[in-house]
């Protein structure tokens, strides 16, 4: 749930440590009282830590959470995406979010069915809620018949749904993790 805040936290922690060390070296060279300067610098660091985390997150989040384009699924390096992504997908657009991703891609239905069957077999003993067999229905805002693949869910309800349009060999995937 809070994985997306770990990187800004670690960057801010490292920056704060560097600032504390540099400020104490400066204070020592200025012959300030060591205990008093250390306490003042430490207090300022504690007060500024959370705002610094927010600023660091604001700088790096647009680089981490955005649209990514791939020609094939092998190019996707993020394991949070790869764990729920079909191997033979092409023309991929992934919109990465803090708590999951949305993706659009092209894939043959036979490849999607084979991958989905393998995934269900691999996760049947470890998933809190096993995936369901594909069903056909209309998706909101569309008159076409879509095939819905409701993937396995973790105990915290992290998982995915894939909506597949057979006529266009196009899939829309919505995944969430906590």
Tens-place pLDDT, residues 97-143? 888 899 999 999 999 999 999 988 888 777 778 888 888 887 777 77
Give the pTM: 0.74
* DSSP H/E element including 147: strand 145-150
Query: What residues contact residue 147 under an 8 Å CB cut-off, 6+ apart?
Result: 109, 134, 135, 136, 163, 164, 165, 166
pLDDT of 1 higher than 70: no
- Residues 139-153 pLDDT 10s: 777 778 899 999 888
Buried b / exposed e over 52-88, threshold 16 CB at 10 Å, is: bbeebbeeeeeeeeeebebeebeebeeebbeebbbeb
- Residues 24-71 pLDDT 10s: 888 878 887 777 777 888 888 888 888 988 898 888 888 888 899 999
Band (93; pLDDT cuts 50, 70, 90): very high
Of the two residues 17 and 126, the one the predictor is more confident about is 17
Q: Where are the domains of the chain?
A: 3-64, 67-176
For the residues 63-86, what does the mean pLDDT come to? 88
CA distance 55 to 62: 12
CA distance 74 to 78: 10
């Amino acid at each position: 749930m809070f994985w997306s805040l770990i990187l800004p936290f670690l960057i801010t922690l490292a920056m704060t440590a560097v600032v504390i060390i540099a400020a104490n070296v400066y204070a020592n060279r200025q012959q300030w009282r060591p205990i008093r300067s250390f306490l003042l610098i430490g207090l300022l660091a504690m007060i500024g830590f959370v705002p610094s985390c927010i600023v660091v997150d604001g700088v790096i989040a647009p680089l981490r959470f955005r649209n990514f384009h791939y020609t094939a699924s092998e190019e996707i390096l993020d394991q949070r995406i790869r764990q729920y992504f079909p191997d033979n997908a092409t023309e991929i657009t992934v919109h990465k979010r803090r708590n999951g991703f949305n993706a659009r891609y092209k894939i043959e239905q036979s490849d999607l069915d084979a991958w989905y069957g393998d995934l269900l077999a691999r996760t049947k003993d470890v998933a809190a809620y096993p995936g369901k067999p594909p069903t056909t229905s209309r998706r909101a805002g569309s008159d076409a018949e879509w095939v819905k693949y409701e993937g396995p869910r973790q105990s915290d309800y992290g998982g995915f749904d894939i909506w597949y349009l057979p006529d266009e060999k196009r899939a829309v995937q919505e995944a969430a993790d906590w």
